[in-house]
Chains A and B, each alone.
Chain A
Amino acid sequence: MQALDPRARVIFYLCMTTAALLLRDPRALALLALFSMIVLIAAQVPWERLRPIVPGTAVFILVISGLNLLTRTPVEALQQALRAITMMCTTLAIVLTFDTALLGITFRGLGLPDRFAYALDLTARFVPTLARDFRNTIDAQKARGYELQLRSRNVKDLLTVGRRLVPLIVPVVVRSVLDAEDRANAMDLRGFGTQPRTWLQVLRYRWIDGVLIALSLGALAGCGWLRFGLGF
């Protein structure tokens, strides 16, 4: 997976998720889910990286299926579960093997303008910072005697829980907004956005990337035919 061009991987990902949304037949969706699991295994993501994510993902899939089971038919619940499995496995396989330093050039290579492509790069840069700021704020408020109680039974309690979250959310949001001004200044001071830029990294398609893109688009077209032509 890591050896493939990141643009080819993004195209593959988009085709897989679109196919999962297109198909309705549980048998076809089951095949797609099975294939996505094989992709995740082939990606060879270390278990240490998957371990913290898997329980939450499993709960999410169970909740989605459970809600569908309560409000719709068992077949529809099964469809949603298979879709969720396909999307989760593919997302994990792509995201956890992606070199974040190549995020900007990947989307530039897919045709996005410099500014939008670099915005995606910046997102990858600041997700760990945001997580660290949030942890700091939780610690700082705990040191002021704050204790988070998220258990709630009704809507009134939910509002109380929302209010209890204000001391955690406001500092992080305010800091992010203020920091964004400094970061924009830092980028301006290094001439960002004044002209088309060079990207240090160069991406080059190889034959295997071409095969992956062709197969992905072909498979997506096939799924479209199954859905709209044969009604699967």
Chain B
Amino acid sequence: MTIDLTDLRYAYARRPSPAVQGVSAAFKQGEVTLLAGGSGSGKTTLIRCINGLIPHTYKEGTLSGQIRCFGESTGGLSLSQIARKIGTVMQDPEKQIVATRVENELAFGLENQALPREEIRARLRAAGRSMGIEDLLARETHSLSGGERQKVVIAAVLAMHPRALLLDEPLASLDPPSAREALAQFRRLANEGITVVIVEHRVPEVLGIQPEHCVVLRNGAVVFDGDAKAYQRWRGGDPPGEPVAMRRPKTDNSASLLAFDQVSFAYASAARAQARNASFDIRAGEVVALIGPNGAGKSTLCKLAIGLLKPAQGRVRVVNRDASTLTTAQIAKDVGYVFQLPSATLFANTLCEELSFGPRNLGMAPAQIDAAIRHAMDLVELEQIPLETSPFGLSYGQQKRVAIAGVLAMQPRMLILDEPTAGLDHGTADQMMTNLLSADGAPEALLIVTHDLRLARRYATRAIMLAAGEVVADGAAQAVLDDAAAMRRGGLL
């Protein structure tokens, strides 16, 4: 066996229940293991135990059990000794990149091992070749796209010649083509003899590379351990793709909430336009998925919709008013926009203060704010959390829902959600989406920016596909997602 875990237990200091309890599992050489489980099930903690961050960095908790790595107990190894055997790719590649230039990033771990420069250069070139990023070596790391960053991070770990690779949600920031490419690379690495452990919520995509081994955690304990076929039987397959109906379906005379008329826009520093003659109209009762590869211009369209950017050409209309004559605050009364990362918005000491921020900015009356906050908390399934709680003490998934509730409390007629399910397990994501679509007082229309085609298929009534700033497909969601030619045009196949 490559990595053997025996009765592993870990409890963080000052937390009531252990994060990992009695985990025994074995990850073999040359195999891909899918490590699945809901948010907070202990996956990341287990990874930290294996790569040595627990107990070397997280020293305050209680660790017991045994981890053997290539026949050697990791208990007596230093973090750098473990790092030479086990490479780790963390969830957000942005946080893992420490150098200003790609070449230096690939060299970082090797420099720390004090290897000779000639060997460092040879290894970083080989790792770059292996990941197909030789042409990126001279690039500044902050200029890389999400997919490029992911490849650089993996190449930097591979340059250290690890025998095992731990990947913590490696697909989280990738569009479907980049995710497929990354998964193919993980499969290839396993075929070359590396032990690959993938922690991922996007289970169906990982199952596509036929992992030899699947482990599922729940509340820190193993609830399934077997091969992929047994796992699929145990899991019972994906829930049927029945779209969840919106409470108020679109009718012929539904009000137009957001309309783009031949809108073009380019950033001053960009080589090409991020929006090119974009035209569409979103009406009450619609759930629209805005899909497209990384860099297609999805976020730019959203910023144009809420007035953060002004079109160079064309016109954006919000509830039949020209958006160029309105401030973002005025538009926010009608169109709410939830950014992808909750950390971009949370600032207050209590949930009450956090959630009342938007309504107060809009000048809502105190009694109205109170009701709006409680309704928003219901919609995102956080009603059981006291309003005096600090948002910073919540889990990532809960913070994400607080950020959504913060915008819902402003009672916009339409809501734009940027990657609403990234970092959420399917159960939580499904419950939240169902509430947003079907509850009384929910927004009249949703625009969902997403890479998650399962989400688009399950909840959207319509899909707009962008590629290089241009609308390349616009129609019923099922039809667009099933249209192979359109998906290829949009770079999603």
Interface residues of A (CB under 8 A from B): 100-101, 103, 121-122, 124-125, 128-129, 133, 136-137, 139-147, 166-167, 169-171, 174-175, 178-179, 182-202
Q: Decide if A143 touches B361 in the complex (CB within 8 Å).
A: no
Q: CB-CB < 8 A to B308: which residues of A?
A: 139, 142-143
Q: Is B167 part of the contact surface with A, judged by Cβ < 8 Å?
A: no
Q: Decide if B83 touches A198 in the complex (CB within 8 Å).
A: no
Q: Decide if A191 touches B113 in the complex (CB within 8 Å).
A: yes
With contacts A144-B406, A182-B90 known, is A188 near B57, CB below 8 A? yes
Beyond contacts A101-B103, A144-B361: 18 other A-B pairs, Cβ-Cβ < 8 A, are A100-B100, A101-B104, A125-B100, A140-B339, A144-B407, A145-B332, A145-B358, A167-B357, A169-B347, A186-B90, A189-B52, A190-B108, A191-B79, A191-B109, A198-B110, A198-B114, A198-B120, A201-B104
Q: Is B176 part of the contact surface with A, judged by Cβ < 8 Å?
A: no
Q: Decide if B53 touches A188 in the complex (CB within 8 Å).
A: yes
Q: Decide if A202 touches B117 in the complex (CB within 8 Å).
A: yes
Q: CB-CB < 8 A to B344: which residues of A?
A: 133, 136-137, 139-140, 171, 175
Name which of A136, A140, A166 has the most chain B CB atoms within 10 A of its CB.
A140
Q: Decide if A171 touches B339 in the complex (CB within 8 Å).
A: no
Shortest CB-to-CB span from B352 to chain A, Å, is: 15
Shortest CB-to-CB span from A171 to chain B, Å, is: 5
Shortest CB-to-CB span from A57 to chain B, Å, is: 21
Q: Which residue of A lies closest to B53 (CB)?
A: A185
Q: Is B99 part of the contact surface with A, judged by Cβ < 8 Å?
A: yes
Q: Decide if A190 touches B104 in the complex (CB within 8 Å).
A: no
In the complex the two chains form, what is the Cα distance from A114 to B120 in whole Å? 18
In the complex the two chains form, what is the Cα distance from A144 to B79 in whole Å? 44
Name which of A103, A187, A189 has the most chain B CB atoms within 10 A of its CB.
A189
Top 6 nearest A-B pairs (CB, nearest first) are: A145-B361, A191-B80, A190-B109, A170-B347, A144-B358, A191-B112
Kindly state the interface size class of chain B when it binds its partner. Answer: 35 or more
Q: Is B240 part of the contact surface with A, judged by Cβ < 8 Å?
A: no
Q: Decide if B347 touches A167 in the complex (CB within 8 Å).
A: yes
Q: CB-CB < 8 A to B45: which residues of A?
A: none
Q: Decide if B98 touches A186 in the complex (CB within 8 Å).
A: yes
Shortest CB-to-CB span from A126 to chain B, Å, is: 9
Q: Decide if B345 touches A190 in the complex (CB within 8 Å).
A: no
Q: CB-CB < 8 A to A178: which residues of B?
A: 343
Interface residues of B (CB under 8 A from A): 51-53, 56-57, 78-80, 83-84, 87-88, 90, 92, 94-101, 103-104, 107-117, 120-121, 141-142, 156-157, 160, 303, 306, 308, 327-329, 332-333, 336-339, 341, 343-348, 357-358, 361-362, 392, 406-407, 410
Q: Decide if A143 touches B343 in the complex (CB within 8 Å).
A: no
With contacts A146-B361, A197-B114 known, is A174 near B332, CB below 8 A? no
- The answer, among B107, B112, B357, for a CB contact under 8 Å with A194, is B112
- The answer, among B160, B303, B341, for a CB contact under 8 Å with A190, is B160
Q: Decide if B345 touches A196 in the complex (CB within 8 Å).
A: no
Q: CB-CB < 8 A to B160: which residues of A?
A: 190
In the complex the two chains form, what is the Cα distance from A144 to B406 in whole Å? 8
Q: Decide if B79 touches A125 in the complex (CB within 8 Å).
A: no
- The answer, among B53, B79, B84, B361, for a CB contact under 8 Å with A147, is B361
Q: Decide if B95 touches A171 in the complex (CB within 8 Å).
A: no
Q: Decide if A128 touches B142 in the complex (CB within 8 Å).
A: yes
Q: CB-CB < 8 A to A146: which residues of B?
A: 329, 357, 361
Q: Decide if B327 touches A147 in the complex (CB within 8 Å).
A: yes
In the complex the two chains form, what is the Cα distance from A191 to B111 in whole Å? 9
Q: Decide if A171 touches B99 in the complex (CB within 8 Å).
A: no
Q: Which residue of B lies closest to A171 (CB)?
A: B347
Q: Decide if B111 touches A200 in the complex (CB within 8 Å).
A: yes
Q: CB-CB < 8 A to A190: which residues of B?
A: 83, 108-109, 112, 156-157, 160
Q: Decide if B99 touches A186 in the complex (CB within 8 Å).
A: no
With contacts A144-B358, A191-B112 known, is A174 near B56, CB below 8 A? no
- The answer, among B95, B109, B329, B339, for a CB contact under 8 Å with A182, is B95
Provide 29 A-B residue pairs closer than 8 Å at the C-beta atoms, listed in order of the A residue. Answer: A101-B99, A121-B98, A125-B141, A129-B142, A136-B344, A139-B303, A142-B308, A143-B306, A144-B357, A144-B407, A147-B329, A147-B361, A166-B347, A169-B347, A171-B347, A174-B392, A175-B343, A175-B344, A182-B96, A189-B51, A189-B87, A189-B88, A192-B108, A192-B112, A194-B112, A197-B112, A198-B110, A198-B114, A200-B117
- The answer, among B101, B328, B341, for a CB contact under 8 Å with A142, is B328
